[in-house]
Amino acid sequence: MSDDSTLAAMANTTPACDAPADVELPGGTIVADRWTIVRFLARGGMGEVYEAHDRLLDGPVALKTLRRGMAHDRFVREIQLARKVSHPNVCRIHDAGRHGDLSFLTMELLAGESLAERLRRGPLPIAEARVILADLAAALDAAHAAGVIHRDFKPHNVMLVRRAGATRAVVTDFGIARPADDTGDAALTADGELVGTPAYMAPEQVSGKPITAVSDVYSFGVVAYELVTGTLPFAGQNPRELATARLTETPRPPRDLVKDLDPRWDAAIVAALAVDPAARPASASAVLALTDAPPPPTPVSTDRARVVLLSAAAAGVLLAALVLGLLLTGRLGWPTPVAHIDAATTAETQRTPPLTYNMAQAYRRKGDLHQALHHFRRFVVLASDPDSAAIRADAQHYIWQLEAALAADGGVAP
């Protein structure tokens, strides 16, 4: 696993603390006859990170080394996978090479702070969280489109880069990423070490099952939960306990912690944290889209429901007058409304939008709200021609009114 502080320090352009005495590349070292080491930034699980100057292109870069003794092919895989993903919200990989027996890569040097550092100051306002999550969703969508699954998506692997008064969120560290068609063990190394960060891992990743793009969607949901609430959806005394909690426990809804949270945000985050991968939104962008979904209808009191029905009756009179006027002027060739309901007429409504509408009105006048709602809904589906737009809109209003009335009376719509 990558060290949390490595990524934060990698992006820092403020003076770092003095380098340890045992750094592999002291300041001033020229690496592969091209990069001059400016200063040590941090040491992580895979190696060390430095600020360096590219003598050929005359610009700053971050130079990341591979710790001696680690498999070189894993380092090469990080480079190959990261280079497949080209997006403004994904950290760019520039070059790779060897300096003596030391493997290294160079990447974009990001000036800012990690999302983990920002979260130490508390949860984010929804407006700020949405901007960041939109960037992260775009980055994950780009990776998945390129056939790459990140597998360690978390705030520590996100840099917040400020430029010209705006903040850009950048996803980094594809060190344990895998191609989407990889069939190897999803969660463990050959030594039985858990790969990934337990607090953000999807249930299938924890249990060693195959992972897919929606495994990253789960991690995206955990990050969204943390941005909104300032805490994680699960707790544990150690990494494995933390990882397995999501297999046996249900996360506390974010709205329990943030009372004024929009119900749509609550529902979107809970959907992303579904244990069953098939039950999650298909992408990170789809999770974010749920936060913009139309709000559910507000239940109304019984008294208001009666007012709604009276208003619906008045609207029905006006609509009937409109239809009659259209018929008399020859602009609408619909049959007159039915006066009674029988089996033959019901069968006919399955084929004719006008009769379907008339059936809905007849049931409404009889007080059979379920059948009226059913036929109004069917009319909206059947009447797709442009000339029916106005009446289709009125039918939709009836649908809303009937749904509200049934909800107020404890009824269940068909």
What 3-state DSSP class applies to 112? Answer: strand
Domains of the chain with CATH codes: 4-107 (3.30.200.20), 112-290 (1.10.510.10), 302-408 (1.25.40)
The string of DSSP letters for 214-249 reads HHHHHHHHHHHHHHHHSS-S---SSHHHHHHHHHH-
Q: What is the pLDDT of residues 311-333, one digit of tens each?
A: 555 555 555 555 445 444 444 44
Strands 158-163 vs 148-149: parallel, antiparallel or unpaired: unpaired
Number of other residues whose CB lies within 10 A of the CB of residue 152? 22
Residues recognised as catalytic: 152
Residue 26, pLDDT above cutoff 90:
yes
The pLDDT assigned to 38 comes to 97
User: Once rounded to an integer, what is the mean pLDDT over residues 190-201?
Assistant: 63
CB 46 within 8 A of CB 64: yes
Q: What is the pLDDT of residues 71-84, one digit of tens each?
A: 667 667 767 777 88
Q: Which of 191-195, 204-208, 294-298 has the lowest mean pLDDT?
A: 191-195
Q: 């990524």: which residue's tokens?
A: 7
CB 380 within 8 A of CB 396: yes
Which residues on neighbouring strands pair with residue 90, listed in sequence order?
Answer: 171
The pTM of this model reads: 0.64
Shortest CA distance to 37 belongs to which of 130, 124, 102? 102
For 276-308, letters b (16+ CB in 10 Å) and e give ebeebbebbbbbbebbeeeeeeeebeeeebeeb
